[in-house]
Amino acid sequence: MNNHSEQNEKKGLLSGIGAYLIWGVLPLYWKALGSVTPLSVLSYRIIWSFVFMLVVLCVTRKWQSFKVEALMVIKDKKRRRAIILAALFITVNWFIFIFTVTSGNVVEASLGYYINPLANILIATLFLKEQLSRVEKIACVLATIGVVGLAIQTGAIPWAALAMATTFSLYGLIKKQASVSSLTGLTLETSIMAPIAMIYLCFFAPAGFMSYSPSINLLAIGAGVVTAIPLFLFAEAAKNISYILLGFLQYISPTLMLISAVFLFNETFAGPQLLAFGCIWLGILLFTINNLVLLRKRYR
C-alpha cells in the first residue's frame, strides 16, 4: 500500500469514526430541544438542513454538478420517484427517532440502530431476492427472538425500534435507485419536504416560527448542521475504507446511545432489555465473524 492509499484509508477511518460519534450523541442534542414539540423539531431539522445544503453548494462551488444531477432526476421517472420516496422514508425515520428520544426511550432508539444491519439483510432478501447464508439466517432468528422476548416480557412491541430500522433500510435501498451523490440527494430530499415543514411551522405549530429563546433558536438552526455533517463524513468514509470496516464502525452509534440512556438519562436496562440486546448482540457477532471469514477467503 503506497502513502497516498494509506492517507486516504486513514482519512476514511477518521471520517467514519467522526460520523458515527456524531450520530451516537445526537440524542443529547434532541434532548436539549425538549421544550419544542417533536414535529416542530423535525420541521426545523428539515428546513435548516436544506438551507445548510444550499450554503455547502455555494461554498464548495458544486452548483453545476448539482444542477446536472438534479435535471437527471427530474427527467427520469424512476429516479424522480426514488428521490420522493427517499424523502418520505427519511422524514418518517427522523420523526420516529426524535419522538423516541424526547419521550425518554433512548434505549429503544439504540435497539433500532443495533438491528438495522439485520434489517438490511431481510430487506435485501425480500426486495432484491438475495439468498441468506446459514449464518445470516441464524443472526436474523436471534434478533427476532430478542425482539419477541422483549415484547412478551414488557407487554409492548418495540414499534419505534422496528420502525426506525425498517424505514432507514428502505431509505438506503431506494436511495441506490436514484444514483446521485449524497450532496445532491440530501439537497433534493430536504427541498421536497421543506415547503411542508414551513407551512406546518407557520400555521399549525404550537409556537410561531423561530419564536423561542435565542439558545433554542440557535439549536434549531444547528439541527441542519448536525444532520448534514455526519452524512458528508460517512460519504467520505464509504469512499476510502472497506465495507467490512465500515460495518464495524456502525455499532459506535447505538453503543453511545445505550451508554447515555443508562448512565445519563437513567433509563431502565434490566432483564427484558438485557435478554433482547443479548440475542441481538450474539446475532451481530455471528454476522460480523461471517463477514470476516468471507473477506479472508476473498483475498487468499
Average pLDDT, whole number, for the chain? 86
CB contact set of 126 (below 8 Å; sequence gap of 6+): none
pLDDT band at 285 (very low <50, low <70, confident <90, very high): confident
pLDDT of residue 191: 95
pLDDT band at 300 (very low <50, low <70, confident <90, very high): low
pLDDT of residue 9: 76
Q: Tally the residues of the chain.
A: 300
pLDDT band at 275 (very low <50, low <70, confident <90, very high): confident
pLDDT more than 90, % of the chain: 37
Torsional sign, CA 154, 267, 36, 255: negative
pLDDT at 46 over 80: yes
pLDDT band at 113 (very low <50, low <70, confident <90, very high): confident
pLDDT of residue 52: 94
pLDDT of residue 221: 95
Q: ∠150-154-159 over CA atoms, to 5°?
A: 65
Mean pLDDT, range 61-69, rounded to an integer? 90
pLDDT more than 70, % of the chain: 93
Q: ∠96-202-105 over CA atoms, to 5°?
A: 20
Q: Which residue has the cell 431539522?
A: 45
Task: Of 94, 42, 33, give the one whose Cα is nearest residue 216.
Answer: 33
**Cα–Cα distance for residue pair 223/130, rounded to 1 Å:** 37
Q: What is the DSSP letter of 100?
A: H
Q: What is the DSSP letter of 210?
A: T
pLDDT (tens digit per residue) in 164-174: 989 988 888 88
pLDDT band at 118 (very low <50, low <70, confident <90, very high): confident
pLDDT at 244 over 70: no
Mean pLDDT, range 12-25, rounded to an integer? 90
pLDDT at 299 over 60: no
pLDDT at 241 over 60: yes
Mean pLDDT, range 198-224, rounded to an integer? 92
Mean pLDDT, range 100-126, rounded to an integer? 85
**Cα–Cα distance for residue pair 227/214, rounded to 1 Å:** 20
**Cα–Cα distance for residue pair 149/164, rounded to 1 Å:** 19
3-state class (DSSP) for residue 269: coil
Contacts of 130-134 with CB under 8 Å at 24 or more apart are: 133/290
Torsional sign, CA 133, 169, 123, 179: negative
pLDDT band at 243 (very low <50, low <70, confident <90, very high): low
pLDDT band at 284 (very low <50, low <70, confident <90, very high): confident
Q: Between residues 102 and 116, which one has the greater pLDDT? A: 102
